[in-house]
Chain A
Amino acid sequence: MTLTRVTKGVIICAVLIFFLFPIVILVMQSLTPGGRIFYPTIEQFKSFTLNNYYEVFFNPYLVDLIFLLENSLIISGASACAATIIGSIGGYAFARFKFKGDDNLKVWILSFKFFPPIAVVLPLFLLFTRSHLYDTYQGMILIYTVFNLPFSIWLMTSFIEDIPKEIEESARIDGCGFFQGFFRVTIPLTAGGLVTTALFNFIFAWNEFLLALCLTQNSVMPMTVGLATFVGMSGINWGYIASSSSFMVLPIIVLCVILQKYIVRGLTFGALKE
């Protein structure tokens, strides 16, 4: 049974329509004036505008998207860097040493990733309000760093395991100290792994909603929480939601296209080697 060219084409089209269609609607809605539900008519095709984008950025009566963008960038960027650095040091330990209970420790670390966030949100809220971390950059960076650590460690372990031990050993024989060897040999060799880990940490923090909703207020509110503010008492403004959603996902898509060859490994905690 071989598939003819036509059947193949039909299947490819069907797949693309199912996965692409919602995104097309999102982008079109963001370019359509007014907040009404998108209804594709000729007039609307003619009146495409960037007004929704302009409004969410510069309308003083709406939530200040530039400020939210800044918050999202600071929180996601700093926590991604912190988790990647701490995670690569931890990953090095798992990749290069065999020690008592290492497998159990690795599973213990991973298990933090699997708790339903709903179970920890309230205790975290109480902890944060008492320690004055509630609604601060430090608090959000800390919490996302911790949430991303298990993933960073697993991914970095698998990337460091790919580097032959011999390279580090020969560097050491040539008189390289441990730290020098780590920073001059191991880290440059795993640059791709570091970038992948940082990218995934960044995406997680950038897209996270529940923790941000419960642990921030006006002073460090990120974009995901801001998005929900367009759902007001007077109904949902689809134009604003669509433009800010498109704006949020755009940088992620660009990064992913550039780093495409690393993505699949990142999606599985490094369980799959390419």
Chain B
Amino acid sequence: MGGLKSYSPYILLSPTIVLLLMIGIFPLTYSLYYSFTDLNLFYVERTHFIGLDNFLDLLTDKYFRYSFLVTIEFTVVVVSAEVLLGLGLALFFKEEIKGENVIRTIMMVPIMIAPIAAGYLWKHLFWPNQGIIDIILWQFGIPSPRWTANPTLALPSLMIVDIWQWTPFAFLILLSGLRALPQEPFEAASIDGAGRWSVFRYLTLPLMKKLILVVILFRLIDAIRVFDLPYILTSGGPGYETYTTSYFLYILGLKETFNVGRAAAGSWILNIIIMILVMTLLRVFVMRKK
């Protein structure tokens, strides 16, 4: 644009860049620095540079590796469930129905409630014997499965909470995407007598691919960092069944052993994995061509 050279975009972006460098880069660099030391909050004065030891120890630590397995299991299940359910619901609600605003408003509540409040709410619902879910099961003569205290059900319980909270997110986005699709291909297909399945498989799905990938990207990043659900609902237990990586690092660095150096190394391993995922997905799908 002519006549605007003096207000170059760099000037407009300078407040952002300064703030991000000050508050964003500093803590990241600092944590990278002490991921190479044995900094422990109990013995701050006895801190040494120990090279890559933290990283090597973590990669061979069976609890850290187990926390990764837990996180991956959690992420894969909740992201696929949320996307599939959200897509199913969006297809189901594609035609406008009476009272739709009410349904959309109801679906928005789980997204808008504070994650900590949602955590306590579900802790209440899952409460053994006295929680409402167990009361209902008891009416049918089913004994309490002790949701979050049962080693096989603890992680699925957290998954249910996450699916409850974030399926509406997938639903709302995919619904407005479906409604924005061009009508002509669908009309042509129905003239050609295409079946429901083939319309979905060869028209809807390819047209919605990009949007589905956006939903996957956002949910993937959130799910892989999950912290508040194990923090509130299970404290990582029973045993190590719900130690997600974020929660494991919190316990390692800020709660029990105060081994800050090693926790920082672990968070950098997690960072790097998330960055690789994000950059790959972003480059391929989200960046709009100029």
Residues of A that sit less than 8 Å from B by CB: 1, 11-12, 15-16, 18-20, 22-23, 25-26, 29, 36-40, 86-87, 89-90, 92-94, 96-99, 102-103, 105, 107, 109-112, 114-124, 126-127, 142-143, 145-146, 149-150, 153, 165, 169, 172, 178, 203, 206-207, 209-210, 214, 224, 227-228, 231, 236, 238, 241-242, 245, 248-249, 252-253, 256-257, 260, 263-264, 267-268, 271-274
Contacts and interface: CB of A to CB of B under 8 A. Distances in A.
A102 B176 contact: no
B8 interface: yes
Nearest to B112: A252
A257 B105 contact: yes
A121 B20 contact: no
21 contacts: A11-B92, A19-B110, A22-B122, A22-B125, A26-B124, A90-B15, A94-B9, A98-B290, A121-B254, A123-B30, A124-B23, A142-B23, A172-B3, A178-B7, A209-B115, A224-B117, A245-B121, A249-B109, A256-B108, A260-B101, A267-B173
Contacts of A271: 214, 286
Interface string B64-83: 00000000000000000000
Q: Which 9 A-B pairs have the closest CB atoms?
A: A123-B27, A119-B267, A93-B9, A207-B114, A93-B12, A245-B117, A120-B27, A97-B9, A37-B130
Given A16-B106, A37-B130, A118 B282 contact: no
A210 to B, nearest CB: 7
A253 B27 contact: no
Contacts of A126: 30
A222 B70 CA distance: 31
A210 B228 contact: yes
Given A39-B135, A107-B287, A115 B28 contact: yes
A43 to B, nearest CB: 15
A16 B105 CA distance: 11
B176 A272 contact: yes
Interface string B190-205: 0000001000000000
Contacts of A115: 28, 271, 274
Interface stretch (B45-53, B55-63, B145-153, B164-172): B164-172
Interface of B: 1, 3-4, 7-10, 12-13, 15-16, 19-20, 22-24, 26-28, 30-31, 89, 92, 101, 103-117, 120-125, 127, 130-132, 135, 164, 167-169, 172-173, 176-177, 180, 196, 211, 214-215, 218, 221, 225, 227-228, 246, 249-250, 253-254, 260, 263-264, 267-268, 270-271, 274-275, 278-279, 282-283, 286-287, 290
A116 B1 contact: no
Contacts of A124: 23, 27
Given A19-B107, A40-B132, A256-B105, 18 more contacts: A1-B196, A16-B106, A86-B16, A103-B290, A109-B16, A109-B20, A112-B20, A118-B246, A119-B270, A121-B254, A153-B16, A207-B112, A209-B116, A253-B105, A267-B173, A268-B214, A268-B218, A272-B176
User: B13, B92, B218: which has the most chain A beta carbons within 10 Å?
Assistant: B13
Main secondary structure of the interface of A (DSSP, over half): helix
Contacts of A26: 121, 124
B103 A116 contact: no
Q: Say what secondary structure dominates the interface of chain B.
A: helix
Contact of A102 (B9, B104, B271): B9
A57 to B, nearest CB: 17
B31 to A, nearest CB: 5
A191 to B, nearest CB: 20
A20 B264 CA distance: 40
Contacts of B264: 119, 122
A103 B287 contact: yes
A123 B263 CA distance: 12
Contacts of B274: 114-116
B30 A119 contact: no
Nearest to A96: B1
B12 A89 contact: yes
Given A87-B16, A249-B112, A118 B249 contact: yes
Contacts of B254: 121-122, 214
A16 B103 CA distance: 7
A146 B24 CA distance: 7
Nearest to B123: A236
Given A15-B89, A107-B282, A206 B114 contact: yes
A37 B7 contact: no
A90 B12 contact: yes
A120 to B, nearest CB: 4
Given A172-B3, A224-B116, A93 B23 contact: no
Contacts of A93: 9-10, 12-13
A86 to B, nearest CB: 5
A90 B16 contact: yes
A112 B124 contact: no
Nearest to A87: B16
